[in-house]
Structure 1
Amino acid sequence: MESAAEYTRRLVKSGARAQKSMGQNFLMNDEVINRIVSASTLQADVPLVEIGPGLGVLTRILAQRVPKMWAIELDQHKIGILNKELKGLPIEFLHQDALKLDLHELWGDQKGYLVGNLPYYITSPLVMHFLDQADRLSGMTIMVQKEVAERIAASPGGKTYGILSIAVQISAKVTTVMDVLPSAFWPAPKVTSAVIRLDLRPYPGFSVDKKDFFRVVKAAFSQRRKTLGNSLAGGLGLKKEDVIERMQGTGISDGRRAETLSIEEFQVLTKAFR
């Protein structure tokens, strides 16, 4: 089998182009591909979907390890290339916007697995779109911009910890697989990427309504530079003294900042502001 670099160069020479408007950067590094494959749950009884196959350099490896898979590609021209290059492999290519993909329509009530080199300009909406379908997924191995990966995996106390960290972590266990340098792609992006694995599961001990929970979380982070008391007052439309009164007995100081609070502490606040 051709190496990833040889495969990509051959297709580029034959006229394949990366569409900047779609954020296309084609992976062409065998080590990265092998790490993605080894980090993913690929089993005969687990449906598999790939988001953004591009030229198919990863797709051709995935398809040899499962009885059938789906690949979602918005670029119609790339689908033509994929159908030609990967003919005979058990892949169904779908010309579709991944943000509109309904996993139930692909595999019904089963729980499948998702792999993808996500377009960086819509990474967060895509991640949340699939987390909203957690009842149809057991996990995801995705490549994202390193900065976004750090935000997703962040713990309380750092500048990268925020709403995205919490939104992902209440639905999945996050594992960083590896960093990926720009040289692993054609054309090379201007940023470093990272591969992360998300193992979907209910957050241990989560006991509040998610809508109420995120109302409080978003209010707390609405004015990140301000103290929690001021942020909650502004974000929830309350008077500062009312916020302080409600926080009494929570064990959480109104002088703290949102990025220092754990998911458990945000649950405590949710109950106080229900």
Structure 2
Amino acid sequence: MKLVKPKKFLGQHFLKDLQVAKDIADTIDTCPDIPVLEVGPGMGVLTQYLIPKKRPLKVVELDFESVAYLKENFRELGDNIIEQDFLKMDLSALFEGRPFVLTGNYPYNISSQIFFKMLDNKEIIPCCTGMIQKEVAERIAAKPGNKTYGILSVLIQAWYNVEYLFTVHEHVFNPPPKVKSAVIRMTRNETQNLGCNEKLFKQIVKTTFNQRRKTLRNSISTILNKENPLSADPIFNKRPEQLSVEEFIELTNRVEKALQDKNETDALK
């Protein structure tokens, strides 16, 4: 069967270096011994090294040509080749509700969305590994005070320990992407509850980083009125990249209390 032609609109860059593919597959070895879901297998360069690990394995691929290629060349996968859009899948139904490892050479154009979906399913994804743009990997692994520290850093690090494993250069792909890539591993930490309103936590993180050049006093004013007494606190002189995950949690609790106090005051008027 002829090779699959990479499709730009799907963000496809097929890995051709077999050693890199094996190294990516091996990143799951430190993850729990549970089933594996590979996203975007393409022509199976990574899949071929996942199969010998003797774990239940499913692959999800949106490109019909890649699906046909996989069915022809990886017949041992049988019905475990899923032709769907990963972002629209019900992950809880995949392995009868069992936890699984998420891995893949992720399509570059949806990598951030993949990780937001991982967060929405964090109770059944204790480990996630794979290859993404180097810039996104650096953002996910960044620490407070770093210019790449942002929304993904905070939201993911709240629930996962992040390891930047290694960099992958452009020439090992067909077609070569315009950016370098990197392989990361994210492993669930011990946090079961953030200890704050998680919806408000996400809102505060996204609101402040979307205006990252502003101090918290200004960026958070859409949530908390500028004149609120809480805004006099020195923390509001900081910018979002200066706050750790723990400080964002503390900030969320204080903002929630201020909002509750305001609602109670308004109710008495």
The reply to whether TM is greater than 0.5 is yes
Contact 2:224 2:255 in 1 (8 A): no
Displacement of 1:187 in angstroms is 1.3
Give the one of 6, 10, 15 matched to 1:27.
15
Contact 1:44 1:66 in 2 (8 A): no
Displacement of 1:196 in angstroms is 0.4
Letter in 1 for 2:103: V
Question: Counterpart in 1 of 2:5?
Answer: 17
More helix by share: 2
- 1:241 paired to 2:223: no
Secondary structure in 2 matching 1:273: helix
- 1:261 paired to 2:243: yes
Give the one of 49, 58, 64 matched to 1:76.
64
- 1:118 paired to 2:106: yes
- What per-residue deviation string (whole Å, max 9, x for no partner) do you get for residues 89-122 of structure 1? 5671010001012222111232111111111111
Contact 1:79 1:95 in 2 (8 A): yes
The total of aligned residue pairs comes to 256
Letter in 1 for 2:141: A
* Percent of residue pairs bearing the same amino acid type: 38
Question: Counterpart in 2 of 1:6?
Answer: none
Secondary structure in 2 matching 1:107: coil
Secondary structure in 2 matching 1:155: coil
Distance 1:53 1:42 in 2: 21
Question: Counterpart in 1 of 2:130?
Answer: 142
Q: Which runs of 5+ in 1 are unaligned?
A: 1-10
Give the one of 50, 60, 78 matched to 2:38.
50
Displacement of 1:57 in angstroms is 1.0
Secondary structure in 2 matching 1:135: coil
Distance 1:125 1:214 in 2: 15
- What per-residue deviation string (whole Å, max 9, x for no partner) do you get for residues 32-82 of structure 1? 122212211488951111000001111011011124311100011111111
Secondary structure in 2 matching 1:71: strand
Question: Counterpart in 2 of 1:36?
Answer: 24
Letter in 1 for 2:201: F
Distance 2:38 2:120 in 1: 17
Contact 2:170 2:178 in 1 (8 A): yes
Letter in 2 for 1:236: I
- 1:175 paired to 2:159: no
RMSD: 2.1
Question: Counterpart in 2 of 1:64?
Answer: 52
Question: Counterpart in 1 of 2:254?
Answer: 272
Distance 2:99 2:179 in 1: 33
Letter in 1 for 2:244: S
Question: Counterpart in 2 of 1:103?
Answer: 91
Question: Counterpart in 1 of 2:145?
Answer: 157
Distance 1:69 1:273 in 2: 44
Distance 2:78 2:54 in 1: 8
Displacement of 1:216 in angstroms is 2.1
Displacement of 1:137 in angstroms is 1.4
Distance 1:223 1:247 in 2: 17
Closer/same/farther in 2, CA of residues 42 and 97 from structure 1, 3 Å limit: farther
Distance 2:102 2:3 in 1: 29
- 1:194 paired to 2:176: no
Letter in 1 for 2:255: F
Give the one of 107, 112, 130 matched to 2:118.
130
Contact 1:146 1:194 in 2 (8 A): yes
Contact 1:170 1:202 in 2 (8 A): no
